[in-house]
Amino acid sequence: MLQPIPCSIPERIREICRYIEAHSDEALSLQDLASRAAMSRFHFARSFKAVVGVTPRQYLAAVRLRSFKGDLQASKAIRDATYDAGYGSSSRVYERVGARLGMTPAQYRAAGAGVEISYAALTTPVGLMMIGATDRGVCFVQFGEDEAALLARLRAEYRNAAIEPMRAPGHPQFAAWVEAIGRHLRGEQPHLELPLDIRATAFVMRVWKYLQTIPYGEVRSYREVAEGIGAPKAVRAVANACASNPVAVVVPCHRVIRESGELGGYRWGEERKRALIDAERSHKCATR
């Protein structure tokens, strides 16, 4: 039996989100969801994206991905995880999930088993940094106070991966990636474009890609980012996406601040965020 329809549009959309989360293993059509919200398909689709920041289809995909990853981490068989998450076939899960996991489902289930990650630590103007990369691209760029803690953080993400310090000859591009990040932090290479091997939902990836378009030495508010990706009401979701960024500087989440001009949060410390912004502005002025 259907529950009473909430009055406000945001309440209806939140109710539909809860319904999707509870029935993500079922075939959910846009028409079914719109009917449940007592709205036309067109109005529902527009309202859903305005409130949530992504389309109903993208939200369902993100819920299924979360379920799938949870089952894999719980050591459930890949076949069972595939169907429990609502994917119709193993080919579909590889097609839709593989790119977002950054590795195959089997490798993710095994916490990176079969994946080789090289890492290097370097001292930067804003503190110690560790960089990790697979043969597909950079997967880890984080600041910390000591190398052991940073390495522990990397190993926690990829528990069963073969994680080794960068050695010669090693991956032919890894040394170049590390050098590029170092040059960027010294203000010698403002534009940083490196291949990435990171995981994210469709919405979070949109945020991260937008952050990479913010010019060196400039900042944007969380609201401006939300508007820039076509989801003006998803300010909080944008902030969460920034907070979950695994590759500092490469995805420059430090360039996003509050509308008031305050810095806002930064997972590696507000003092470091201020230092990064000030350094970029200083280097930019010096090259004019």
The Cα–Cα gap between 152 and 98 comes to: 25
Residue 71 is classified by DSSP as H
- Token duo for residue 196: 């990435």
- Core vs surface per residue 62-84: b (16+ CB within 10 A) or e: bbbbebbbebbeeebebeebbeb
Sheet holding 162-165, edge to edge: 138-144, 127-133, 116-124, 162-165
Sign of torsion over alpha carbons 29, 31, 37, 42: positive
How far is the C-alpha of 188 from the C-alpha of 39, rounded, in Å?
54
In the structure encoding, which two tokens stand for residue 73, read together? Answer: 């981490």
Q: Is residue 253 annotated as a catalytic residue, yes or no? A: yes
DSSP one-letter string for 136-192: SSEEEEEEES-HHHHHHHHHHHSTTSEEEE--SSS-TTHHHHHHHHHHHHTTS----
DSSP 254: G
258: which 2 tokens?
Answer: 């509050």
Residue with tokens 């000859």: 169
Catalytic option among 17, 139, 242, 253:
253
- C-alpha distances (whole Å) from 213 to each of 15, 71, 92 are 34, 35, 31
Angle, helices 41-52 vs 9-22, to 10°: value is: 90
As annotated, the active-site residues are: 253
